[in-house]
Amino acid sequence: MKIIAVANQKGGVGKTTTAVNLAAALAEKHRRVLLIDLDPQGNATSSFGLQEIEGQSLYEPLLGEASVADKILPTRLPDLFLVPADIDLAGVEIEIARMDDHLTRLAKCLRVLREDGTFDFILLDCPPSLGILMTNALAAADELLTPIQCEYFALEGLVRIVRLIERIRASGANARLEMGGILMTMFDNRTNLSSQVVAEVRAHFQERVYDTLIPRTVRLSEAPSFGKCILEHDPNGVGAKAYRALAVEFLRRHEVETEPAQSVIPSAVQRSETESREPVT
Ligand SMILES: Nc1ncnc2c1ncn2[C@@H]1O[C@H](COP(=O)(O)OP(=O)(O)O)[C@@H](O)[C@H]1O
Ligand SMILES: [Mg+2]
């Protein structure tokens, strides 16, 4: 089980769009996914057509007053589950700031889900501000998935994220936090700017950058107003195709060790393969 923080301290870069549609595309591939809406604005929650329900958020679990398991709701997709956000979440920062373990409250909440193996992936849709909720997300996550808009200053934003990761590691809140993947969003193939930005980010961050590019398309931006993910709203459009491709690439990156490649190859073939790979002296 992996916990992925969809994070970038900049707003409007496609965090929520990515968290919602990657979660849906992974669930479509029968991975059990939990999406946690950590943004008090609740955009991921409303993207599924859900109204905010008072008391149905991470607020109580973060304060130690309830289990996160009690806050999980089903969605229309059988393998996708959601912990919604509610307005109380905005106040939780102040309440937990006083606690000694204020950076690791979320990590502790999620421990039960790490241990019971219900989910293959937990995606955290982070708020843009660099507050306690986002820091908690980074302290609880195995790695980040950072959406970056194909715009000027993309690199500057990434440099800030690298520093933030270093700070979290150094603080002791999460020494194992990995940078994870970078996803280029709102790619516009009609402009040179988009391609230039992608080339520049790839030159610096190399294979961290996903091959999959998310195109700019109005279908992705209008889907939430119908309370639908892109797979429901425009299943055959470029947006759905891109997020399905992202899910495939994401799984390739995360499930390599667990792929049963070895066991399906007859042992004789396996042996000759190993032999043929041995250096010729
Ligand atoms: N690939 C895309 N093409 C067009 N619009 C997009 C795309 N991705 C996101 N948007 C829109 O851009 C705005 C910001 O995206 P959002 O995912 O909410 O960003 P964040 O969560 O980082 O603030 C939203 O209105 C969203 O619908
Ligand atoms: Mg958002």
Domain 2-277 has CATH 3.40.50.2020: no
Query: What integer pLDDT is reported at residue 256 of this predicted model?
Result: 66
- The region that residue 49 occupies, defined by phi over 0 for left and psi between -120 and 50 for alpha, beta otherwise, is left
182 near 210, Cβ under 8 Å?
yes
Least confident of 19-23, 102-106, 150-154, 246-250: 150-154
CA of 74 to the centre of ligand 1 (A): 24
Residue 80's DSSP bridge partners are 33
Label residue 129 by pLDDT band (50, 70, 90).
confident
Strand order of the sheet with strand 143-149? 73-74, 80-83, 33-37, 121-125, 2-6, 143-149, 178-185
Nearest CA to ligand 1 atom 11: 221
CA of 260 to the centre of ligand 1 (A): 37
Q: What is the mean pLDDT of residues 100-128?
A: 96
What six digits make up the tokens of 57? 């958020």
H-helix or E-strand spanning residue 149? strand 143-149
Ligand in closest contact with the CA of 238: 1
Query: What integer pLDDT is reported at residue 51 of this predicted model?
Result: 86
Ligand 1, residue 224: give the atom nearest the CA. 27
Query: What integer pLDDT is reported at residue 214 of this predicted model?
Result: 98
Q: CA–CA distance from 135 to each of 5, 8, 83, 241 (Å)?
A: 10, 11, 18, 32
Mean residue pLDDT of the chain comes to: 91
Question: pLDDT tens across 6-33, in order?
Answer: 999 999 999 999 999 999 999 999 999 9
CA of 119 to the centre of ligand 2 (A): 23
